[in-house]
Chain A
Amino acid sequence: MARYIIRRLLQAIPTLAGVSLISFVLVYNSPGDPILIRTFDPNITQETREILRRQLGLDQHWALQYTSWLTGITLRSGDVVEEFTRQDINCNYVAGLNATFCDSGGGVLRGNLGTSIATNQPVWERMVERMPATFELSVSALLVSLLLGVPLGVLSAVRQASLFDGSVRVLAVVGNAVPSFWLGLMLIFYFGVALGWLPTGGRRTVSLTNEFDLVDRISHLILPTIILAFGGIAGISRFMRTETLEVIRTDYIRMAKAKGVAARRVWFVHALRNALIPLMTILGPTIFGVLTGAVIVETIFSWPGMGRMTFSAAVQRDYPTVLGAVMFFSLLTILGNLLSDVLYGVVDPRVRL
Chain B
Amino acid sequence: MTVAQADSSTLTSLAAEPQLRRKPRTYWSMALQSLRRDPVTLVAIGFLVIMALLSLLAPVIAGGIGIGPNDTNPDNAFQQPYLGPYIQWRTGLDPIRAPLMLGKSGGVPHWLGTDQLGRDQFVRLLYGGRVSLGIAFAATVLILILGVTVGTVAGFFGGVVDDLIMWFINTFVSIPGIYLLIIVTAMFKPNPVTLTIFLGLFGWFGTARLIRGNVFKVRALDFVLAAHSVGTRNARIMLQHVIPNSMPIIIVNAAIDIGVLILVESALSFLGLGIQPPTSTWGNMLNRANNFLFLRDPETEAYVALHLLVGPGLLITMTVLALYLIGDGLRDALDPMMKNIR
Contact = CB atoms under 8 A, between A and B. Distances in A.
A296 B271 contact: yes
B28 interface: no
Nearest to B323: A177
A179 B182 contact: no
Contacts of A173: 321, 324-325, 328
Nearest to B264: A179
A311 B293 contact: no
Nearest to B310: A186
Interface in A83-118: none
Contacts of B180: 23, 26, 326
B74 to A, nearest CB: 24
A58 to B, nearest CB: 14
Interface stretch (A71-79, A218-226, A275-283, A287-295): A287-295
B286 A181 contact: yes
A250 interface: no
A132 interface: no
Contacts, number: 137
B176 A330 contact: yes
B267 A181 contact: yes
Nearest to A333: B174
Most buried by B among A27, A30, A182: A182
| Dominant secondary structure of chain B at its interface with chain A | helix
Interface in A168-225: 173-174, 176-183, 185-186, 188-189, 192-194, 200
A326 B317 contact: no
B138 interface: no
Given A22-B172, A177-B317, A185-B289, A30 B184 contact: yes
| Dominant secondary structure of chain A at its interface with chain B | helix
Contacts of A30: 183-184, 187-188
Interface stretch (B82-90, B163-171, B228-236, B242-250): B163-171
Given A173-B324, A189-B306, A325 B179 contact: yes
Interface in B223-267: 259, 263, 266-267
B174 A176 contact: no
Given A186-B309, A186-B313, A330-B175, A181 B270 contact: yes
Contacts of B186: 311, 314-315, 317
B174 A174 contact: no
A81 interface: no
Interface stretch (A12-20, A39-47, A157-165): A12-20
Given A310-B182, A326-B183, A176 B176 contact: no
Interface of A: 14-16, 18-19, 22-23, 26-27, 30-32, 173-174, 176-183, 185-186, 188-189, 192-194, 200, 288, 291-292, 295-296, 299-300, 310-311, 314-315, 317, 322, 325-326, 329-330, 333-334
Given A23-B183, A27-B187, A330-B176, 8 more contacts: A173-B325, A177-B324, A180-B267, A183-B313, A185-B309, A292-B177, A295-B179, A317-B186
30 contacts: A15-B174, A22-B171, A23-B175, A23-B180, A26-B180, A26-B183, A26-B187, A30-B187, A31-B188, A173-B321, A173-B328, A176-B320, A176-B324, A178-B317, A179-B267, A179-B283, A180-B267, A181-B270, A181-B271, A182-B286, A194-B303, A296-B178, A310-B179, A310-B182, A314-B183, A314-B187, A322-B183, A325-B179, A329-B175, A330-B175
